[in-house]
């Protein structure tokens, strides 16, 4: 890899360790200017077509995912700014670890579970925005149907 500081063609790995599986964290050092920088190596989703509801396929787009996640944090703008990228990367890692063909529904389900685990309120907002809410009836409440027997 070239140096990000002086564009010298040779850098060496000074330190390396597995990060959050399946990625690898590396500290690189330039042989010319001695600049040190960090890289992450992880499998790519570029060659994994994502099946859409209209039976077309599309490429995975982490930018779209980040925007979609940040929309679920309208109650917490700080989290929208700082957690959205991290949550999107967590979703991406889970998708990489999934061996079956991927669909937009899979991405939605995994994103929902990831957001819900981090912030239940954001989970509810994400579910509402993606039509994951199938029933609005609250548990334990009586049915709203009446019978007239007099
Ligand atoms: Zn350099």
b or e along 38-65 (b: 16 or more beta carbons within 10 Å of the residue's beta carbon)? eeeebeebeeeebeeeeeeeeebeeeeb
**3 C-alpha vs ligand 1 centroid, how far in Å?**
5
**16 C-alpha vs ligand 1 centroid, how far in Å?**
19
pLDDT digits (tens, 9 = 90+) for 41-94: 888 898 889 998 888 998 999 999 999 999 999 999 998 888 999 999 999 999
Residue among 73, 82, 74 at smallest CA distance from 119: 73
Residues 109, 104: Cα–Cα separation, whole Å: 9
pLDDT digits (tens, 9 = 90+) for 22-47: 778 999 999 999 999 999 888 889 88
**6 C-alpha vs ligand 1 centroid, how far in Å?**
4
Residues 33, 71: Cα–Cα separation, whole Å: 42
**11 C-alpha vs ligand 1 centroid, how far in Å?**
8
Q: Are 5 and 35 in contact (CB under 8 A)?
A: yes
**63 C-alpha vs ligand 1 centroid, how far in Å?**
30
Checking if the pLDDT of 121 tops 50, the result is yes
pLDDT class for 10, splitting at 50, 70, 90? Answer: very high
Residues 94, 99: Cα–Cα separation, whole Å: 10
- Domain residue limits, the chain: 11-41, 50-129
């Amino acid at each position: 890899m070239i140096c990000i500081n002086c564009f010298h063609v040779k850098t060496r790995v000074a330190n390396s360790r597995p990060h959050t599986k399946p990625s690898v964290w590396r500290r690189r050092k330039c042989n010319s200017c001695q600049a040190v920088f960090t890289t992450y190596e992880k499998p790519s989703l570029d060659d994994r077509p994502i099946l859409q509801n209209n039976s077309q396929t599309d490429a995975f787009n982490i930018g779209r995912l980040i925007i979609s996640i940040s929309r679920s944090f309208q109650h917490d703008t700080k989290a929208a700014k700082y957690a959205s990228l991290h949550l999107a990367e967590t979703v991406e890692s889970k998708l990489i670890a999934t061996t079956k063909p991927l669909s937009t529904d899979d991405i939605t389900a995994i994103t929902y579970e990831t957001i819900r685990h981090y912030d239940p309120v954001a989970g509810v907002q994400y579910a509402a925005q993606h039509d994951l809410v199938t029933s609005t009836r609250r548990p334990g409440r009586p049915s709203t149907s009446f019978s007239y027997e007099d």
